[in-house]
Amino acid sequence: MKLTEFSAIVSEGSSLTEYQASVVADLLASEEEDPVEKADFLTKLARKGETFQEVAGLARRYRELARNPGLDEWSSRAIDVCGTGGDKQHTFNISTTVTFIVAAAGIPVLKHGNRSITSKCGSSNLLEALGFDIASDDANLQRSMEELGFCFMFAPAFHPAFKEIVPVRQALAAKGQHTVFNILGPLINPAKPAYQLLGVFSSDVVDMMANAQDSLGLKAGLIVHCDLGEKGGMDEFSTAGTNIARGFGSLGGIDARWAPSEMGIESGPLEDLEGGDVEENMQLLDRLMEGKA
In angstroms, the CA 6 to CA 18 distance is 13
Residue type, 152: F
Q: What's residue 86's pLDDT?
A: 86
In angstroms, the CA 195 to CA 223 distance is 11
Q: What's residue 117's pLDDT?
A: 63
Return the half-sphere exposure (C-beta side, CA atoms, 13 A cut-off) of residue 33: 26
pLDDT at residue 82 tops 90 = yes
Predicted TM-score of the model (pTM): 0.94
Residues 29 and 164: beta-carbon distance below 8 Å:
yes
Q: What's residue 107's pLDDT?
A: 98
In angstroms, the CA 266 to CA 39 distance is 45
10 Å Cβ neighbour count for 201?
22
In angstroms, the CA 121 to CA 136 distance is 20
pLDDT at residue 105 tops 80 = yes
pLDDT at residue 161 tops 80 = yes
In tens, the pLDDT along 249-288 reads: 999 999 999 999 999 999 999 999 999 999 999 999 999 8
10 Å Cβ neighbour count for 141?
19
In angstroms, the CA 273 to CA 42 distance is 33
Q: What's residue 120's pLDDT?
A: 77
In tens, the pLDDT along 51-65 reads: 999 999 999 999 999
Domains and CATH numbers, the chain: 74-156+176-288 (3.40.1030.10)
Work out the average pLDDT over 147-174: 95
In angstroms, the CA 177 to CA 188 distance is 21
Residues 111 and 123: beta-carbon distance below 8 Å:
yes
